[in-house]
Amino acid sequence: MRAHEGSAMDCVSCITPTRQDRPHTFFHHERAACPTCRETHEGRVVLRGDSPVRLLLCPTCGPSEEILPGTANAYVDGFLARGEVPEGFEGEIEFKETTSTCPSCLTLLPAKVVIREGRVYFKKNCAACGPSEALVSEDAKYYVRAYAFARAGTEPLKFATKVEHGCPTDCGTCNDHEQHTCLPIIEVTDHCNLECPICIVDNQYSNHIDLDTFARMIDTLVVNEGQCESVALSGGEPTSHPQILELVRIACRPEIGRVVVITNGIRLGKDRAFAKALKESGAYVGLQLDGFTADTHEKIRGRDLVKEKEAALAVLRELQIPTQIIFVATRGVNDDQIGKVVELFLSEDHFLSLNFQPAAYTGHGGGLFGHDAMDRLTIPGVVRRVDEQTGGKLKVEDFFPLPCSHPQCVSLTYLLRLEDGTFLPFSRFVDFTKHGSLLRSSATLPATPEMEQTLQDVLYDVYARQDEIERGPEILAALKRTLKVMFPDRPMTQKESLLIGEQQAKSIFLHHYMDRHDFDLERLRKCCHHYPQTDGRIMPACGFNMFHRGAAKGPGTQTPSWGKKPWVKENGTTRLSIVSS
C-alpha cells in the first residue's frame, strides 16, 4: 500500500475533503468596458478549456463575461509576443495595463506596464497627486516569460466573504480569489523586542492573542482548507507571547503538517531551556537573518545583532531545530551578503529552506525606510547576486516562477541531496516544461501521488540520458533513494511524509511582497500567503498589509508611514477609493 493509500485511521489525508481546482486558469488583468453601461473597469482574462474569456465585475451592472477570439494557446502566444523587444530598439514598449496604487494617497488607479532598457516599470497618474513611475522588475525577459507559468488555482473548501465591491475591498477570501491558502500567517502578538526600520507591520504593543481565539482561528483554517502543509506564527515577535508554547501545541494537530515560529532569534539565543521546549513542541523556526555585520543589522533591524544572531544559530545547530532562513534583501545595504547566507544554508542539515524577500516599503517602518522606487532590488536582481556570489554554484537559470501563486510573486529552486551530502538544483536534470508539477509552494517535496509519478518520470528521463548529464549516475542514485524513502509500502501521516521529504531536498524561495510603488491588483488576486483574522476572514498578505491592516484606526504613527488609508463611504458602505476610468 502506498503512502497516499492508507486507511482513514492512519492517514488524515484520506478523510479530508479534497479541494477542487478553479474552473479556469487565471492569466492576467485587462481593463475593459462594461457591455451594458460602457464604464471601464479592471477585468481578468482567464483560460477556460481552449478559450480565452474576459470576466468583468461592474459595480453598477454586475458581472459579465466575454469569450475572446482565437484559442487559449494562441492568446498566450500573442500576449507574450507583446513583450518582445526588437534587437537594437531603444525606446519604450507598452506591454500591458493593470491596476496599481498612487504611492502618495493609495487610491487604486490604472498603471501602464512598460519595458524600457531591459527593465519593467509601472507608469501611473493620480488626479490628486500627479504622475509617478516605479521599477517592477530588473529583467524584462524574466517578467514577460513568467506569464507562461500560469496554472489553475485551487479553491478552498469554504470562502469567508462574498463578492460585493470587487478586489481588494472584499478580501476575506471571496469566491473571485484565484488561489486557496498555501501559507497561513497568524499574528499572535503585536509586541516586539526590536524596532526594525524595515518593519512591514504596525505594532501597537497592546495585544497578545488569547488561546481560545487562536484555537478558533485554527479551527476556521481547517474548515476552510481541510489540510495545511504549514502554519506560520508571526507578530510582532511571537516568542514575546507569554503562552507561545501553548499556541504551538494548539496548532500542532493532524491536519497541519508543520508549525513555523517566525522569530528574530533573540530569545532563542538567550534562553536555551525555551529553545529546547520549542524543539520538543514540534515547532519549526523561521529565523530572520538579513546578514552578518553590525552595520547591516543596525540599518535593517535598528541595532547591532551580530552576537544575538550567532547565539541563535548556535542553539539551533546544537538542538537541530528544523529551520527556515528568512533574508530581507535591500539594495546597497545587505545585497553583498546574499552568497554568504546561501553557503551557510547549504552547510547545515537542519536548514530546510531559504527565503529571500526583496524589501517591501510599507508598514510602520518600511514606509519610512530610505529607498529609490526606480532602483530597487527585485527577484531577478537577487537571483543574479546568488549566481555571482556563489561562483555559479547556483545559476540564474536554476530558478523558475512558482505557478501556485501569481508568477511574478515567487521564484524558487529545489536542490536534490546527493549521496555525498552535496546538493544539485533540479533544473540541471529536469525539463520543467515537461515536469512543471515539481514547482510548488512547499519547502520540501511532498509525498503525493502526483509527486511520485513526476519523480518516476524524471528518473526514467535521467536514466535514458545519464551519460549526457553531469553527475548523471549520482543523480540517478539520489532519485532512486528519494522514491524509496518517500513512498514506502505503508501509510504515513502528513507530518511523517513532510519529515522524510525534508531529508531529500532543500529549497530556495524568492518572495517579493508588494508596496505602494509596485502594487499590482493582478498579483493580489492569486496570492496564496494569507493572514487569518479573528473574525473568520483569511486575507491575502499584500492586500492586508496595504489596505486592511489597522484600516479602522489608521496608521499607528502620527505621520502615516505608507500614505492615508484610501477608504471612502458611498451610499452608507465603506470601500476602497478606485479610479474606474
Rounded Cα distance, 284 and 443, in Å: 12
Three-class SS of residue 401? strand
Asked if residue 427 is part of any domain, the answer here is yes
Supply the angle between the helices 338-347 and 379-389 in degrees, to the nearest 10.
Answer: 70
Q: How many CB atoms sit inside 10 A of residue 310's CB?
A: 12
* Contact between 4 and 13 (Cβ < 8 Å): yes
Asked if residue 450 is part of any domain, the answer here is yes
pLDDT in tens, the chain (581 residues): 233 333 333 334 444 568 899 999 999 999 899 999 999 988 999 999 999 999 999 989 999 999 999 999 999 999 999 999 998 899 999 999 999 999 999 999 999 999 999 999 999 999 999 999 999 999 999 999 999 999 999 999 999 998 888 888 888 899 899 999 999 999 999 999 999 999 988 888 888 999 999 999 999 999 999 999 999 999 999 999 999 999 999 999 999 999 999 999 999 999 999 999 999 999 999 999 999 999 999 999 999 999 999 999 999 999 999 999 999 999 999 999 999 999 999 999 999 999 999 999 987 777 778 899 999 999 999 999 999 999 999 999 999 999 889 999 999 999 999 999 999 999 999 988 788 777 765 667 777 788 889 899 999 999 999 889 999 999 999 999 999 999 988 888 878 888 888 889 999 999 999 999 999 999 999 999 999 999 999 999 999 998 888 653 333 222 333 334 444 444 544 455 545 44
- Nearest-CA neighbor of 53 among 72, 77, 33? 72
Give the sign of the dihedral formed by CA 253, CA 254, CA 256, CA 262.
positive
Rounded Cα distance, 546 and 367, in Å: 10
Which cell is 427 given? Answer: 533544473
Residues 6+ apart with CB under 8 A from 69: none
Q: Which residue range is the domain that position 457 belongs to?
A: 398-511
* Contact between 426 and 168 (Cβ < 8 Å): no
Asked if residue 404 is part of any domain, the answer here is yes
* Chain CA centroid to CA 189, Å: 22
* Chain CA centroid to CA 46, Å: 21
Which cell is 527 given? Answer: 496570492
Amino acid at 570: E
Reduce the secondary structure of 86-126 to three states and give it as a string.
CCCCCCEEEEEEEEEECCCCCCEEEEEEEEECCEEEEEEEE
Can you give the pLDDT at residue 231? 98
Can you give the pLDDT at residue 16? 55
Asked if residue 144 is part of any domain, the answer here is no
* Contact between 254 and 208 (Cβ < 8 Å): no
Can you give the pLDDT at residue 14? 42
* Contact between 135 and 118 (Cβ < 8 Å): no
Can you give the pLDDT at residue 492? 80
Asked if residue 471 is part of any domain, the answer here is yes
Can you give the pLDDT at residue 553? 35
Can you give the pLDDT at residue 212? 97
Round the CA-based radius of gyration of the chain to a whole number and report it: 23
Asked if residue 285 is part of any domain, the answer here is no
DSSP string covering 443-482: SS----HHHHHHHHHHHHHHHHHTTTSTTHHHHHHHHHHH
Asked if residue 474 is part of any domain, the answer here is yes
Q: Cite the beta strand spans of 309-422 per DSSP E.
A: 323-329, 351-358, 400-401, 410-417
Asked if residue 416 is part of any domain, the answer here is yes
* Contact between 195 and 302 (Cβ < 8 Å): yes
For residue 16, CA distances in Å to 164, 226, 280, 442, 446 come to: 30, 6, 27, 19, 16
Look at the chain and report how many structural domains it folds into.
1
Which cell is 119 given? Answer: 527593465
* Chain CA centroid to CA 226, Å: 20
